[in-house]
Amino acid sequence: MTTTSARPTAVPSIEQLPQPELRTNTDIQGNVLAAFNKDFTDFRYLHFPDAAKGRGWLSAILNTVATTSETEDFNEQFSLARRAFGRDPALTAVRCGVSLTFDGLLTVAAEPEQLRKDLAAFTAFGAGAAARAAALGDTGDSDPKTWLFGAGTGEQVVHAVLIVAADTEELLTEKLKNLDAVEHAHRIGRVHVDRGRTLPGALKGHEHFGYKDGISQPGVKDFHREDPERKGFRDNRAGTELIEPGEFVFGHRSEQGDRKAPAWMKNGSLQVVRRLRQDVAGWNKAVADGVKEFTGTMDATRLGACLVGRAKDGTPLAPPGSTVTGLGSDRNDFDYANDPAGRHTPWVAHIRRTHPRAFAGVNDDHPKSHRLMRRGIPYGPAFTGGKDDGEDRGLMFVCYGTSLEQQFELVQQHWSNDPAFTPGDPKADRHVPNGFDKVTGLAGKAAIGLEDGTHGTVDLRRFVRTTGALYAFTPSISTLRLL
């Protein structure tokens, strides 16, 4: 095991490190590279009655759309003040982001036929989330027929997703009032609204099952600062490798060269929005009952952590990686190379399925091309324990990237839902079926065999169901101006 001691004084402080180029970008919308990170985040799914009204609304809200630069400036001021004063500073802001679905782009485009040609290679985006649902496991009670948005016809077709994010409920309400007036003036239809809210008290930063979320994010070259002590890794985030910005924003270098896209998509990004309802009482009961299926030392806390890959407070089950130095508070400095058989972090664990890190034995030429920039926030009231209270609660899952097929869809369809996928050494210890990601994958078995000999297989139904989903494009500010 390797640990870092205090930083030598010769190493520059964060303020002295060079400013990466993309941090000051004023064309890429906020939330793609720099998270809005707000406790109160509304999602509005909107319908344009016609091209003129859609364009009118877009030009009216253009000035409220946040840039990467202002979003990152705020985040940086916030974290510097927190470090200086040891508590959250009283800094507040409202940030907006807008994305257009394929139907939305076609509605406002000056030349829809050219747009269709431009997007011909973007198969998943053109088809839309509802058309891709069956392949992604959105069947049964997750079938698009049951969705609140994303599968409607006529006036229920979503053209735009507006994200309005604020640090306080008052700021959000005030901003929404202004936006209501703009929607009204342009006769914009509202298909649905979701209210994302961070959970209260000690659950802040956690999702509804109780696990800390938002820990592991990709590091981005030219956006995040590089660790002066460890080239290729992000400063101040132990173990976070920097990958090419073109993985998340069009028109920049990606891990495989350049992801091809027409010029108007430069500085834009593809967005996935999924409304994932969580059955917390069901999950809690299944985890408590599942303990009986194990031989050895197992309790609900340990089994839950095995299914997620981290304990509720975020501590990973993985021992520090063999090739990575440093320990962070939200530890992310591991790569599974020292755990090919899944004896620390089981193969079924959500974080191992969705980001297998060291691809020991897995045939993948571009392992860094499947990362997601996640921007989720819970919705609905916190679960207070006991029996199912019937409340609708879950996660507004949002992610950005430049390939729906290689990023979100690959992770959901193959890594989470394919029992044959082994995020470890395929030759090692195959006596048990690998199973499914039990947080977001299909119903079925999850086999776990741990270092201390504890082993067993739980057969679980699904506790997360999809209740709405969309694919959208988050254009650059300059492209928004041209629409």
Binding interface with ligand HEM (CB under 6 A): 207, 209, 211-216, 276, 278, 308, 310, 350-351, 354-355, 372, 374, 394-395, 397, 408, 411-412, 416, 439-440, 464
Mapped onto helix, strand or coil, the DSSP state of residue 470 is strand
As beta bridge partners, residue 195 has: 42
CB of 357 to ligand HEM, least distance (A): 7
| Least gap, CB of 284 to ligand HEM (angstroms) | 13
Indicate the residue among 401 and 475 with the shorter CB distance to ligand HEM: 401
Nearest approach in angstroms of CB 328 to ligand HEM is 12
User: To the nearest whole angstrom, how small is the minimum distance from the Cβ of residue 85 to ligand HEM?
Assistant: 26
CA–CA distance, 370 with 410 (Å, rounded to integer): 7
Least Cα distance to 64 among 162, 160, 187 occurs for 162
Measured from the CB atom, is 199 or 351 closer to ligand HEM? 351
In the complex, minimum distance from the CB of residue 243 to ligand HEM, in angstroms, rounded to a whole number? 12
For residue 309, what is the DSSP state?
S
Partners of 469 in beta bridges: 274
How far apart, in whole angstroms, are the C-alpha atoms of residue 306 and residue 348?
8
Among candidate residues 277, 49, 272, the one with its CA nearest the CA of residue 147: 277
CA dist list (Å): 419 to 3, 98, 140, 356, 447? 35, 36, 19, 14, 11
CB closer to ligand HEM out of 174 and 313: 313
Q: Are the C-beta atoms of 402 and 249 separated by less than 8 Å?
A: yes
CB of 13 to ligand HEM, least distance (A): 27
Left (φ > 0), alpha (ψ -120 to 50) or beta: where does 187 sit? left
CB of 297 to ligand HEM, least distance (A): 23
C-beta of 53 vs 357, nearer to ligand HEM: 357
What does residue 414 show for φ and ψ, rounded to 5 degrees? -95, -45
Q: Which is nearer to ligand HEM, 252 or 274 (CB)?
A: 274
| 301, 291 contact by CB (below 8 A) | no
- Cα gap 243→221, rounded to integer Å: 6
3-state secondary structure (DSSP) of residue 481: helix
Minimum distance between the CB of residue 111 and ligand HEM, rounded to whole angstroms?
34
Query: Please, which residue, 299 or 313, has the CB nearer to ligand HEM?
Result: 313
- Looking at beta carbons only, is 105 or 358 nearer to ligand HEM? 358
DSSP element (H, E) containing 164: strand 160-166
